Amino acid sequence: MNLSIIIPAFNEGESISHLFNQIKNSLSDKKISYEVIIIDDGSNDNTWVEIINISKKSKNIIPIKFKKNYGKSDALDAGFKRASGDYVLTMDADLQDDPSEISPLYQMITRDRLDIVSGWKKKRNDPFSKTIPSKFFNYVTRKLSGIPLNDFNCGIKIYRKDVVNSINLYGEMHRYIPLIAKWNGFNKIGEKEVNHNRRKFGITKFGMERYLRGFLDLLSVSFVYRFRKRPMHFFGSIGVLFFMLGFISVGWIIYEKISKISENIPLEQIRPVTDQPLFYIALISIIIGIQLFLVGFLSELIIQINSDKKGYKIDKSGEGRKN
């Protein structure tokens, strides 16, 4: 099997049959063998009925149904786990991603031997309320990740099978698949301009909250992938910093007190330690430092317990192998 096409669908009943016909037509004269995995993400319209209808007519459709709405990331993840093609393409079910782009994306990833080719909706048919924040979002993600993509959250993307095998999607992490892939060592990432249609049926499933959530996810994705194997380096170093700050301040307070006593200043003229803001700051600093240190320690324990799940992957195509 050359290609698995993965389509998450949440209340997209009206689009399903058009979508499948367009996919079929666009690939009919190409020599690409493919399967279409459609995931009904707990829809409450006729999406599932539509999926079953088309799957009766065609053998290469694999329908998956979620019991409730888990979100696009979980739907994609279920598709990734089920895919058996050498390459895996994801696209939205709402006909905004154009099936005529499937073949060019496949040609590009195979010809240029890339890990990922991401679509770029250069001429985007969406309202301004979406396009403007999205430009900012892409700019920040580009700067933070160092990946030169214009459109991280484009629904249509194609991956080598290895790439999706290395990824566990959850929450709303589908926005960051290129970042997660890069951190897993897949850095041959290409981009191709794609045609983008206006939504014809149904409504968008993500409101303005997508930007706040997207931003928080960007922070956690950057954090988790940097420190997931060595949390003590993160928590411990900040903890030590806080602890040292507190410790030095306490040292200073004691030194000041002793030096005043040794200068024979009468005790009632020396400011009591508990009267100084620095004393409280020092105290809090020491406590925060110890807390952070303990959090780091706990995280390390959790990693030890799960240490059988190795986070690294050996590149089997590595050069110079003897066997």
Nearer to ligand UDP, 75 or 109 (CB): 75
Interaction between residue 94 and ligand UDP (CB under 6 A): yes
Under the binding rule (CB under 5 A), the answer on residue 94 touching Mg ion is yes
- Please report whether residue 155 would count as binding ligand UDP according to CB under 6 A: yes
User: CA 298 to CA 139: how far, in whole Å?
Assistant: 35
How many whole angstroms from its chain centre is CA 323? 36
Residue 89 near ligand UDP by CB under 6 A: no
Q: Which is nearer to Mg ion, 22 or 165 (CB)?
A: 22
Amino acid making up residue 258? I
Q: Say if CB 158 and CB 5 are below 8 A apart.
A: no
62 to 81: interface string for Mg ion, x by CB under 5 A? --------------------
Of these, 11, 96, 134, 145, which contacts Mg ion (CB under 5 A)?
Answer: 96
Q: What one-character-per-residue DSSP string does 230-295 give?
A: -HHHHHHHHHHHHHHHHHHHHHHHHHHHHHHHHTT--GGGSPPGGG-HHHHHHHHHHHHHHHHHHH
206 binds, among Mg ion, ligand UDP, none (CB under 5 to 8 A by kind): ligand UDP
Residues 2-41, one symbol each (x = binds ligand UDP by CB under 6 A, - = not), give ------xxx-x----------------------------x
Pairing of the two strands 116-120 and 157-160 = antiparallel
- By C-alpha distance, which of 68, 53, 55, 72 is closest to 7? 72
| Footprint on residues 203-242 left by ligand UDP (CB under 6 A) | 204-206
Total residues contacting Mg ion (rule CB under 5 A)? 3
